[in-house]
Structure 1
Amino acid sequence: MPQQVILRDAMRRLNLTRDGLSQRLGVTRRALDSWMLPDHSTEMRKMPDIARRFILELLKGLAPAPQSVEQQPANSERAHHLLSVDGYTRDSVEDLLRVADIMQPIARRQKTTRVLDGAVLANLFFEASTRTRLSFSAAFARLGGSVCDTTGFTFSSMAKGESIQDTSRVISGYADAIVVRHPELGAVAEFAQATHVPVINAGDGPGEHPSQALLDLYTIQREFSRFSKLIDGARIVFVGDLKYGRTVHSLSKLLALYRNLRLTFVSPESLMMPSALIEKLAGQGHHIEQTQDLAQALAGADVVYATRIQKERFAQEETLEGYSADFQINSAVVNRYCGADTLIMHPLPRDSRPGANDLSVDLNRDSRLAIFKQTDNGVAVRMAIFATLLGVQDQVPHSLREVGWRVPVYLAPEDEVPYSDQ
């Protein structure tokens, strides 16, 4: 296993920052940073064998991480699904993120594998999507599988009146894994009830978006690692459409697995977080604040998570009231109220049209903006989900080989960090 994966796993399971782990190992922070670089980096240094043995002994002394319902191997009597984040514990979610670390060289196009050679993914998107659909497709393909796509009701037999159950049973005969996005709350769960083939919820109306929450958590954890921060005790600010924003619903529940968080929800009254979810978060011992004062909320924030207004989910009689420019996250606001290590996030797509008041494009060159790190990390996390559900995660490290094509060092002209080092 690459030493970078071993070190990240140690930090998660021991709940240590980089500073804490370097002190535990008795080495300088600079030395640890050089050990944690990707294997192909010219500045990476090999960790001494004595340090590796010491870390493995520390991890061996910990209780094994229990698997969540969603993480059970797919060759069990009944294949399990990823429908919600509710099945995860802190240990099991971090175990999945360890698998995502193993997937990074593949996602970054440094290595390739064929562990899912011959497997077929059915991507069923009954609601518009670009990045989520392509991210799932890329993740499955990079594991060696092939992908079949369908988008929209118009191109589905459901337009002819076919039931969700019939569609599920039919597709199960074609595919080894199924990703479903549906505009109705609970529709993906209904789809999963009719099959033993693993089903992944790619968004069900205003309900949940579990894979997005997992990649968001993974991004927070990796970025916090650079600043020697822990998620425990962090201040997380959510801004925007919190009523219909399913990414906020899923991510807040995952974050609640950590300790002593300060969760601040900023929105007009018409778009506030569902009260049942607020009560659940408060009941888990976190400090919860709901406000319409963005400036006050941003002071001291470790993460600012902005969301697009989900107008497509509004009921016919609903109108957008009170969402003014005062709620926009832009360069002026961030520079005035946020710190140098504040993380600015968004699940995308963001609405860049005038008057939308979504996350501003004037932050594109700000080093605190993590939206493209989120999308890049999404491939590794979704690869981990597929590998775990289909039971091949342990085969991956032994199946890796070098890629045979030219890989760009920077994906965009304005990137400051090489793609492979992100």
Structure 2
Amino acid sequence: MKFAGSHILSVSQFERADVEHVFTVADRMRPFAERELMTKALDGAILGAMFFEPSTRTRVSFGSAFNLLGGEVRETTGFEHSAIAKGESLYDTARVISGYSDVIAMRHPESGSVSEFAAASRVPVINGGDGSNEHPSQALLDLYTIRKERQDQGGGVDGLRIALVGDLKYGRTVHSLCQLLSVFKNLHIVLVSPKELCMPETIIEHLRQAGHTVIESDQLEASISQVDIVYSTRLQEERFSSTQEADLYRGRFRLNQAIYTQNCQPNTVIMHPLPRDSRANARELDVDLNDNPNLAIFRQTDNGVLVRMALFALILDVVALVEKEARPVRWFTARRFK
């Protein structure tokens, strides 16, 4: 694909070569993300960050990635702080904000809304999550993490065995990840959920047509015994009609250290897009896993900055300039990336 000036709205835009190109650029961003070097490649550029749903990691990660490339960030959070609360259309909002920004990252609770916004925007738009539909940058950072974790164990993405666990019906992260995984080869994918929260059939069929083995199950322990990755996801309570309905499924698939030790292989990697629900009646990933060296959830969040830096560098066509503008960091940096 042609990255310069393009919207990033769906993982369906990416062929395997495109994914690998993003990852190559992300690898080059590591010295900047880890505060070994700084750059002013995007000095003067403005990111419009428009988040109409709650967000911590995605919003701050996009902003940090842009700042690390030398750009500035202007944020709008929640409908109540935007003119949409006064009845303004997405079209009008897009026309206005794209006049103030060089690129926009947007999250919205309605499926298809970011694409609608992008159609009216005068600058590139990155989908930061649209309802239960897609979350392409999360899928890219998840796959980048899978690739890195597998490389560290002497493997790769081709031939991967992965279990996706939890709310697979409403979880946009797993929807996008499955579609992105489909461009690789010989995958064994186990989908673990209550029948009421199973993966959409269109996504399952897409994986099977791509030549992958897909198994559906509602049994956690048996499903995680022969996999390389366990990817757990949060119950998407905000997509349910009531808290009472969500409570019917809350805590159904809890992974803790005892279950991991009894059922998983010694090097099985644990992933989660976060936030994990640490309330007593949920705990899809128990806090007793925090000291497990195979818990990769915080490596995922670090990798999110690398991938989003890569997307900004590619979309704004400054990949070569990032390193050309590199200089040493002048402030104290804790060894938080070691």
**TM-score by structure 1 length?**
0.78
- Say which SS state the counterpart of residue 86 (structure 1) adopts: helix
State the 1:324 CA deviation.
Answer: 6.0
Contact 1:239 1:327 in 2 (8 A): yes
State the 1:230 CA deviation.
Answer: 1.5
RMSD of aligned residue pairs (Cα, Å): 1.4
Q: Which residue among 115, 136, 140 is the counterpart of 2:66?
A: 140
**Range 311-320 or range 105-114, more displaced:** 311-320
- Say which SS state the counterpart of residue 127 (structure 2) adopts: strand
Q: Which residue among 160, 173, 187 is the counterpart of 1:247?
A: 173
Which residue of structure 1 aligns with residue 19 of structure 2?
Answer: 93
Q: Are 2:238 and 1:307 equivalent residues in the alignment?
A: no
Which residue of structure 1 aligns with residue 33 of structure 2?
Answer: 107
State the 1:202 CA deviation.
Answer: 0.3
Q: How does 1:148-167 map to 2 (within 5 A)?
A: 148-167=74-93
Task: Output the amino acid matched with 1:165.
Answer: Y
Contact 1:186 1:204 in 2 (8 A): yes
The superposition leaves residues 187-222 of structure 1 with CA deviations (integer Å, 9 ceiling, x where unpaired) of 000000002301000000000111111111111111
Which residue of structure 2 aligns with residue 7 of structure 1?
Answer: none
Contact 1:268 1:322 in 2 (8 A): no
Identity %: 51
State the 1:323 CA deviation.
Answer: 2.8
Task: Output the amino acid matched with 1:332.
Answer: A
Contact 2:237 2:243 in 1 (8 A): no
Which residue of structure 1 aligns with residue 211 of structure 2?
Answer: 285
Which residue of structure 1 aligns with residue 118 of structure 2?
Answer: 192
Structure 1 unaligned segments of length 5 or more: list them: 1-67, 75-79, 411-418
Task: Output the amino acid matched with 2:204.
Answer: I
Q: Are 2:314 and 1:383 equivalent residues in the alignment?
A: no
Q: Which residue among 244, 248, 261 is the counterpart of 2:187?
A: 261
Task: Output the amino acid matched with 1:377.
Answer: N
Q: How does 1:65-80 map to 2 (within 5 A)?
A: 68=1, 71-74=2-5, 80=6
Which residue of structure 2 aligns with residue 339 of structure 1?
Answer: 265
Contact 1:268 1:321 in 2 (8 A): no
Contact 1:294 1:326 in 2 (8 A): no
Instruction: Name the CA distance, whole Å, in 2 between partners of 1:355 and 1:211.
Output: 30
State the 1:235 CA deviation.
Answer: 0.6
State the 1:299 CA deviation.
Answer: 1.0
Structure ranking higher on relative contact order (CA contacts 8 Å, 6+ apart): 2
Which residue of structure 2 aligns with residue 361 of structure 1?
Answer: 287
State the 1:114 CA deviation.
Answer: 0.3
The superposition leaves residues 54-81 of structure 1 with CA deviations (integer Å, 9 ceiling, x where unpaired) of xxxxxxxxxxxxxx2xx4212xxxxx10
Instruction: Name the CA distance, whole Å, in 1 between partners of 2:8 and 2:252.
Output: 37
Instruction: Name the CA distance, whole Å, in 1 between partners of 2:189 and 2:244.
Output: 27
Instruction: Name the CA distance, whole Å, in 2 between partners of 1:298 and 1:331.
Output: 13
- Say which SS state the counterpart of residue 147 (structure 1) adopts: strand
Runs of 4+ in 1 over 4 A off after TM superposition: none
Which residue of structure 2 aligns with residue 120 of structure 1?
Answer: 46
- Say which SS state the counterpart of residue 211 (structure 1) adopts: helix
Which residue of structure 2 aligns with residue 229 of structure 1?
Answer: 155
The superposition leaves residues 277-310 of structure 1 with CA deviations (integer Å, 9 ceiling, x where unpaired) of 1111111110000100111110111000000000
Structure 2 unaligned segments of length 5 or more: list them: none
Mark the CA change 1:403 to 1:317 in structure 2 (over 3 Å): closer, same or farther.
closer
Contact 1:201 1:210 in 2 (8 A): yes
Query: How many residues are aligned here?
Result: 338
The superposition leaves residues 338-378 of structure 1 with CA deviations (integer Å, 9 ceiling, x where unpaired) of 11211100000011001114211110010010000000111
Q: Which residue among 216, 221, 224 is the counterpart of 1:295?
A: 221
Instruction: Name the CA distance, whole Å, in 2 between partners of 1:328 and 1:317.
Output: 19
- Say which SS state the counterpart of residue 245 (structure 2) adopts: coil
Task: Output the amino acid matched with 1:73.
Answer: A
Tell which structure's C-alpha radius of gyration is larger.
1
Instruction: Name the CA distance, whole Å, in 2 between partners of 1:101 and 1:256.
Output: 22
Instruction: Name the CA distance, whole Å, in 2 between partners of 1:255 and 1:332.
Output: 29
Q: Which residue among 55, 69, 74 is the counterpart of 1:129?
A: 55
**TM-score by structure 2 length?**
0.97
The superposition leaves residues 80-107 of structure 1 with CA deviations (integer Å, 9 ceiling, x where unpaired) of 1000110101111001100000000000
State the 1:320 CA deviation.
Answer: 3.3
Contact 2:95 2:122 in 1 (8 A): no
Q: Are 2:133 and 1:207 equivalent residues in the alignment?
A: yes
**Range 186-195 or range 398-407, more displaced:** 398-407
Q: Are 2:143 and 1:217 equivalent residues in the alignment?
A: yes
- Say which SS state the counterpart of residue 12 (structure 2) adopts: coil
